[in-house]
Structure formats: C-alpha cells, structure tokens
Structure 1
Amino acid sequence: MLSILIWMPVLGAAVIGLWSGGENAPQRSRIVALVTISFSLIWTLVLGSQFAIGGTQMQFLENIPWLDQIGLTYQIGLDGLSLPLVFLNSLLTWIAIYSTEKGISRPRLYYALVLLLNTGVVGAFVSQNLLLFFLFYELELIPLYLLIAIWGGARRGYAATKFLIYTAVSGILILAAFLGITWLGGSGSFDYQPLLAQALPLTQQFVLLGALLVGFGIKIPLVPFHTWLPDAHVEASTPVSVLLAGVLLKLGTYGILRFGLGMFPEAWAVLAPSLATWATVSVLYGAFTAIAQTDMKKMVAYSSIAHMGYVLLAMATATPLSLVAAVCQMIGHGLISALLFLLVGVVYQKTGTRDIGILRGLLNPERGLPLIGSLMVLGVMASSGIPGMVGFISEFLVFRSSFPTFPVQTLLCMVGTGLTAVYFLLLVNRVFFGRLSEQVMNLPPVQWFDRTPAIILAISIVILGLQPNWMTRWSETTTANLILPKAAVVAPISMSQESR
C-alpha cells in the first residue's frame, strides 16, 4: 500500500513524458499531474484512516531484498512521525501544481519534475533503511535544482548552483555518518531498526552525530549554513518556493529527529544545551535579518530560518511533549510559509514588484487586492503566534516544554516571536495599508485560480489552531518512543497530563 504512494507520481511523470505532447501539451500535462497528485493525496487519507493511533511499531511495512551485498533493502514503513509529513507533502504538491501558471514554458518537463520531487520526498519520509533514505534524499535534489535553474528568476543559475553545492555537501556528510554507523557497529545491513539496538562508544557517537547535525542543518537550514535559502527562494517560482519552504526544509528536521536523536540519545543529552543555543542563534539571526529586508519574498525566507530554529529548540529539550511540539511546528510552519509565499507570488504577479518601499494600500477594496491582503493579514497573524491559529499552538507547545530545561534559550526565542510580529507588521502596514501607490493602481482582478490554494491553506491554519488534537494525536506515541526506544509499550502522552 505504501509503495503506491511512492511510485504513483513516477507513473504520472512517465505518462506526461510519453503521452502529453502535441498542441495541447500544457493542458494535458497539467491534467495528468493534477490527477496523479490528487490520487496520492486521497491515498494518503486512506492510509491515515487505517493507521492505528497509539501503535508502537512501523505500519504498512514492506521489506523487499535488493542489494544484500551492501546492506541495501527496499524497506519502507509509516509511523506517527512520518505520516503527518507525508500528508503535508501531498497537500502542498497539489497546491503547487494547481497554482502553476497554465501557460508555463516546457510544461511536460516541469510537471514531471514536480512529480519526481514528490516521490523523492515521500520515499525519504518512509524509508526504514539508511541507504535507501539517502537515495531518496539525493533524488529530490535533481528535480529541485532543475526547477530553480530553468523556471527561476534573473539570477536562477547562481541560486540553483549554490543550492546544489550546499545540498551536495549535506549529502556527503549524511552518507559518511550512515557508513560510520554501520561499519563501527559491525552491522552488515543499513536497516534502521536493528541499528537502534547497537551501542557505540560516546566518542564515536559525538563524531557521527556531529556529521548528521551539520548535514541536516544545511538542509533546515540553520545559521551559518543558511545562505543558500534566501537566494533559492527569491529566484524560484512561487510553486517551487511553496514546496521548498513547506516540505523540503522538513527533511532536515525529520532527519535530525529520526537519525540523530533516535540513534544517539546519550550523545544528544550531552550536546543538548549547545543545540538549544544554536537554535536561539538561528531564531534571532533570522528575525533581525528579516526586519532589514525590503523584498517581501526575502523577508518571508528569513522568517523561515527563524521559525525552523524553534523545531531545533524543541528537539534539544527531548521530552515527550517537546517532541510533539517539534512535529507540530514542522506542520504549522509548512502551512503558514506556503500561504505566505503563495500570497507574495500573487502580489508580484499583479503588481510586478515585491519592493516594500514601492507597494502600499493594496487593501483598497476597489482598486487593490483586498482578499489577498486579508489572507496575508491572517498568515502574518498565524506566523506571529496569534491564538486561534496553528502557529500559536505550535510555538506555545515549544516554549511550554522547553522552558523548564532551557529557560534562557526559551526566553530569547520568545523574543524572536515578538520580532516576528515586528517585521511582519512592517510588511503589512507598508504594503497593504495607506493610500494605494500610484505605481500600482488599477490592478488586474484576482481570479479564483489564484484564490483557491490560499483559501485552502488559510482554512487549514485556522482549523488546526482551533482543534490541535487533530495534529498532535498522530505523533505522541512515536515521538515518545524516540526517547524511550527500549520500552515494550508506550502509551500516548496526553498534553494535559504533561502540563500537570
């Protein structure tokens, strides 16, 4: 059942390449891509409906021998950590395809690459073999590089190459760590579960965990490995930015949580204060740098660096509640950042600029973009942690769980939340309020094609903010088992019990 989710997009990409030609290539390619990803989204919901909440084992497990000589097996499975991220990936891929301009150049290649990108991300989230995870982790690099290099902005070549170099270094470090885990432990297999039981000397754990932290830290990205992200976002098209911020950055936090904390809990406990400090630096740096930006898209990009730091803070704390908070922050940030990048893309499409110094008054009900402005206000409020939205519950859980362990770092990260309100208030006040700028008067109307994806995300942000249990209950048992790997049975952790 799980393989269908991985290989259906590959089949869709093959159909696009072999059949969607001729004069109707753009329309055919778009239809095939939408049908394919819609099926994947529905299939994810089917898997979720059959998922046993509270189960301690991998579900929908598939194990097929592949290259036994090197320890590579096709072993995949789903648990409470990967299921929410798989659903997020399917949803945002659907939104990215739907929001793509219908007249995009080279449509067959574009839609095929987006589907292959989806396959790489899903495969990484469900892989239960370290080498298989690495293959899928590297697979998503190629489509994303091409999506930036071909359909990006004026400096797309520079941004794509920079992304490629950083991610290649990330992959080398991760592969080296995986090889070290297997060889130092004397195992002939890269299968994840057996490797959890091995005990390595603490010095070796520090070296391997350090390689994983830097490798996945590049992907998140954490300061000082972040410089590729703003360039990639600014030059990427809007749908690609949605996928990059909403899903692809989560491969880094997922990898640290699954392979870093999960495999090296002793070394993690020693490094935890340093990791919390690292998270604080990323939060404050991203927030202060976002304040200085005049490009709307670059401001949102730096805000992503800050908000991903909250995930590392929660993971550093490593309590049952904090790990649930980390998953919630990943999901919440994915939805909010996708909404913000979508709206910035619509503003740029209608006005021809993202310069905060030029734009103003876009909430004008007659000649501006009132609905887009209203949705932007909602997205900004969610990112700033206003109650009633998913951003609030995610950040509240992070701070509530981390404060007893790291009070200073948590308080400084809370300052970062206040700074989020500052730079997004500057953006909203300058761009959407006041008298409509003369340079951007009489804007073309926003069609439902532009509105629908943003409305879907806005509704999701509000619903999960009002009913966070729909988001937390999937991950409670799995995340608790990451820090209690030898427990025979782990009951779901109630947030109310943890608070008491």
Structure 2
Amino acid sequence: MLSALILVPLVAAIIVGFTKSGQTARTLALSTAGLLFVWTLWLLFQFDLSDTGLQFSEYLTWAEPIGLSYSLGTDGLSMPLLVLNALLTGVVVYSSKANTPRASLYYGLILLVNAGVAGAFLAQNLLLFVLFFELELIPLYLLIAIWGGEKRGYAAMKFLLYTALSGILILAAFLGVAWLSGSFSFDYDSISTENLPLRAQLILLTVLLVGLGIKIPLVPLHTWSPDAYVEASPPVAILLGGILAKLGTYGLVRFGLQMFPNTWEIVAPGLALIGAISVMYGSLNAIAQNDIKRMVAYSSIGHMGYVLVAAAAGTDLSVLGAVAQMVAHGLILALLFNLVGIVEDKVGTRELQLLNGLMNPVRGLPLVSGLLVMAGMASAGIPGLVGFAAEFIVFQGSFPIFPIPTLICILSSGLTAVYFVILLNRTCFGKLNNELAYYDRLTWSERVPALVLSVIILFLGIQPNWLIRWMEPTATMLASTLQPTQEIVAQNVTQR
C-alpha cells in the first residue's frame, strides 16, 4: 500500500515526460496527484490511532552487503506529512500556467519530487532515506533553473550546492552511527547509539543537525532559501517551502530527537536558542522587504524556527506542536505563494511601493485581497485558523522547559502581525492608479487552489482535533524517551 505512493508518481513521471502534448501532460499529472491524494486520505482513515508503532509496513531485502533494505512504514509523524505532500502536489500542478513551456518535462519533474519526498517520509532504512532525500535534488534544480526568474541560474546553483552538502552531511552522520555501533544493517530499528561514547554521539548529532538545518532552513544555514524562493515560479516555491523544507524538520524529529535521546539534553538549549534566533531573524528581515515574495520567504524561515524550539523542548505537547506546525506552515505558505503569484501575474509587479488598492471591488482583485488577509491572519496565529492551533501547542509545550526562547517566539508572532499589516496595508488598501489599474478578472481555475487551501486552513483552525488526533500517540511515544532529559533541562533552567 505504501509502495504505491512512490511507484505511481515515478511511473507517471516517465509517461508524462514522453508526452508530446502539454495539455495531456498536465491532465496526466493532475490525475496522478488526485489519485495520490485520495490514496493518502484512505490510508489516513485506515490509520489505527491506538497504535504508536509503524503501520502498513513493507520490507524487502535489497543490497544486504551494504545494509540497504527496502523498508517502508508510517506512523503519526509521517502520515500527516504524506497527505500534505499529495495535496500540495495537486495544488502545484493545478496552479501552474496552462502555457508552461516544455510542459512534459515540467510536470514530470514535479511528480519526481513528489515520489522522492514520499519515499523519504516512508523510509525506515537510513540509506534508503538518503536515496529518496537526494532524489528531489536534480528535479528541483531544473525546475528553478529552467522556469525561474531573471537570476534563476544563480539561485538554482546555490540551491544545488547547499542541498548536496546537506545530503553529504546526513549520509556521513548515518555512516558514522552504523560504523561505530557495529551494525551491519542501516534499518532504523536495528541501530542504537546508546552504547556509543558521549563525545562520538555529540559529533554525529552535530553533523546530522547541520545537514538537516540546511534543508529546514535555519539561521545561519538559510542563505540559499530566499534566493531560491524568490527566483522560483510560485508553484515551484510551494514545492520548496511547503513540502521540501519538511524533510529537514521531519528528520530533526525522526532521527535527531529519537536516535540520540541520551545527548539531546546537551544540545537542546543551544537548539532552542538557534530556533529563537531564526524566528526573530526571519520576522525582522520580513519587515524590511519591499518584494512581497521575499517577505513571504523570510516569514517561512521564521516560522520554521518554531519547530526547532518545540523539538528541543522534547515534551509530548511540544513534539505534537512541532508536527502540527509543519502541516500548518505548509498549508499557509502554499496559500501565500499562490496569492503572491496571482498578484504578480495580474498586476505585473511584486514591489510594495507599486502596489495599492487591490481590495477595490470594481477594478481591483477583491477575492485575492480577502484571501491574502486571511492568510496573513493565519500566519500571525489568529484564533480560528490553523496557525493558531499549531503555535499555541508549540508555546504551551515549550514554555516549561525553555521559557525565554518561547517568549522570543511569542514576541516574534507579534512581529508576524506587523509585517503582514505592512503588506496588506500597502497592497490591499489605498487608491488605485486610475490609468493603470485595469486588472484581468480571475478565472475559476485560478481561484480553486487558493479557495481549497483557505477552506482547509479555516476548517483545521475551527476543528484542530482533525489535525492533531493522528499525531498525538506518536508524539507522546517520542517524548517518553526524553523524559529524563526534560527533568534535567528543567532543573538546570530552575537553578539558573
């Protein structure tokens, strides 16, 4: 059942790649994405909430001499992310322009990215995770380099180098764990770091965290991110921020927190500090931007810092909040990039100084403006929207362990409201230029992705249990391995 999430998009990518008609390629890609979304929803509702272990597991011996096996499984950590991956892939395909050049290659690459991300979320073998982790590298490089903006070559090469380095560091950490532990298999359940010297664990965990920090991205490993997000087309930016970045945060919880429980207490305070710095840095840089797409890119950096603070705390609530924040961030960021792309396409600019009055019901873009207001409110954590539910759980779970970093995150949440008020005030309100403001109306096909994402964001905000119920048992299990860590960190904080 899980192999279908990998094999179907891989086979479809090959078929789409050899399709001569761009419209046929788009139809096939959209049909594949829809099928994958329905399949992940079916798996979600077949998911046993009382089982904290792996479900729907598959295992095949592959390259036994090097410890590589085809081992798949899903739990409450990966299952919601699989649904997010399928949903946003459909949004990306649907929102792509009908006249996209070299459409067969374009849609084929998107499906390859989907397969790579799904495989990484499902992999229960460390080498298999690295293989899928690297599978999306070349497709995304090409998606930026071919269909990106003016500086697409620079942004694509920067993305390629940073992501390649990230994969090398993660592979090095996994090889070190297997070599030092004496394991002949890279299956996740057969590797343990408990008997390794503390110094070796710290070195391996540091290497792993740097590799994952590049992918997340975290300050100061983030410099590839704003350039890649800005130069990528809006649909590809959704792939980068809404889906790809989740590989880093997923690996942080799956491999960092769970594989190194004995050393997590040592690095946790530093991680919480870095997370708080990333949150504040992203917010302050977003306020300073004049390009609304770059503003959203820096906003993404800030919000991913919440996940690091939550994972560092390691309580059951904070781990639950970390996973919820991954999903909420993916939905909100996808909506923002989609709306920014529509504004750029209809108005012809992303510059705040040149945008105003889009809320005008006659000659503006009132629907886009209204949804942009909603997206800004969701990102700022306004109650009733999915961003509030995720951030509240993060803050509630992290505060007892790391009060100061959590307070910095709460303050940054206020700054999120500041830069979105700046964005909305300058783009949606004010007077339209009577000579230039005759914007094309949105077609229904252009409205659908934003409306679907908005409905989901609103529904999960009103009914957050539909978001967290799948994650809670696994989050509790993951945090239980760190209970001694929590007590030690709490004592240290109290003494200080």
TM-score for the superposition, normalised by structure 1: 0.95
1:443 aligns to 2:443 (yes or no): no
Q: Is the 8 A contact 1:358 1:439 kept in 2?
A: no
Mapped pair 1:112 → 2:95: no
1:393 counterpart residue number: 389
1:412 offset after TM fit, Å? 1.0
CA RMSD of aligned residues (A): 1.2
Which of 183, 186, 193 is the matching residue for 1:187? 183
Residues 338 and 440 of structure 1, relative CA distance in 2, 3 Å threshold? farther
**Unpaired runs of 5+ in structure 1?**
488-500
Structure 2 distance, partners of 1:296, 1:458, is 19
- Aligned match of 1:149: 145
Amino acid at match of 2:3: S
**Residue deviations 1:188-213 (CA, integer Å, cap 9, x gap):** 00000111475322111100110111
What do residues 336-356 of structure 1 show as CA deviations (whole Å, max 9, x unaligned)?
000000000000000110000
Q: CA separation in 1, counterparts of 2:23 and 2:97?
A: 11
- Aligned counterparts, 1:355-370, within 5 A: 355-370=351-366
Structure 1's 440 and 128: CA in aligned 2 closer, same or farther, altered over 3 A? Answer: farther
In the alignment, structure 1 residue 203 sits paired with structure 2 residue 199: yes
Q: CA deviation at 1:17?
A: 2.6
| Amino acid of the structure 1 residue aligned with 2:240 | L
Moved over 4 A (4+): none
Equivalent of residue 347 in structure 2, options 345, 348, 351: 351
Shift of 1:56: 2.2
Give the aligned partner of residue 17 of structure 1. 17
Report the counterpart of residue 317 of structure 1 in structure 2.
Answer: 313
Distance 1:188 1:150 in 2: 42
2:257 counterpart of 1:258: no
- Stretch of structure 1 that moved more, 319-328 or 477-486: 477-486
Contact map agreement 2:356 2:432 (CA 8 A) in 1: yes
Query: Matches of 1:143 and 1:293 in 2, distance apart?
Result: 29
| 2:244 pairs with 1:215 | no
Instruction: Please name the residue that 1:8 is paired with.
Output: 8
Moved more, 478-487 or 355-364: 478-487
1:68 counterpart residue number: 64
1:194 maps to amino acid: S
Distance 1:486 1:301 in 2: 33
Structure 2 distance, partners of 1:130, 1:102, is 39
The letter of the residue matching 1:6 is: I
Residues 1:462 and 2:458 aligned together: yes
Counterpart for residue 88 of structure 2? 92
Q: How does 1:271-286 map to 2 (within 5 A)?
A: 271-286=267-282
* % identity of equivalent residues: 57
- Rounded to whole Å, the distance in 2 between the matches of 1:281 and 1:92 is 29
Residue number in structure 2 paired with 1:496? none
Consecutive unaligned residues in structure 2, runs of 5 or more = 484-496
Relative to structure 1, the CA distance from residue 440 to residue 199 in structure 2 (aligned partners, 3 Å threshold; closer, same or farther) is farther
TM-score for both structures, normalised by structure 2: 0.96
CA distances 1:283-304 after superposition (whole Å, capped 9, x unpaired): 1110000000000000000000
Matched letter for residue 346 of structure 2: K
Q: Quote the Cα distance in structure 1 between the aligned partners of 2:232 and 2:29.
A: 20
Q: Distance in 1 between matches of 2:251 and 2:300?
A: 18
| Count of residues in Structure 1 that have an aligned counterpart in Structure 2 | 483
Residues 257-295 of structure 1 show CA distances to partners (whole Å, capped at 9, x for unaligned) of: 000000001111111111110001001110000000000
Q: Distance in 2 between matches of 1:196 and 1:454?
A: 44
Q: Is contact 1:359–1:437 with CA below 8 Å preserved after alignment?
A: no
Residue aligning to 1:26: 22
User: Which residue pairs with 1:47 in the alignment?
Assistant: 43
1:13 partner amino acid: A
Q: Mark the CA change 1:422 to 1:345 in structure 2 (over 3 Å): closer, same or farther.
A: same
SS at match of 1:265: coil
C-alpha displacement of 1:54: 2.1
Contact 1:321–1:401 (Cα < 8 Å) also in 2 = yes
Contact 1:54 1:476 in 2 (8 A): no
User: How far off is 1:57 after superposition?
Assistant: 1.8
d(CA) in 2 for partners of 1:197, 1:76: 22
Deviates more, 1:37-46 or 1:374-383: 37-46
2:302 aligned to which of 306, 314, 317: 306
Q: Distance in 1 between the 2:172 and 2:255 partners?
A: 13
Other-structure match for 1:497 = none
Equivalent of 1:169 in 162, 165, 172: 165
Is the Cα–Cα contact under 8 Å of residues 220 and 253 in structure 1 kept in the other structure?
Answer: yes
Deviations 1:116-145 (A, max 9, x none): 000000000000000000000000111100
Is the 2:358–2:364 contact (alpha carbons within 8 Å) kept by the matching residues of 1?
yes
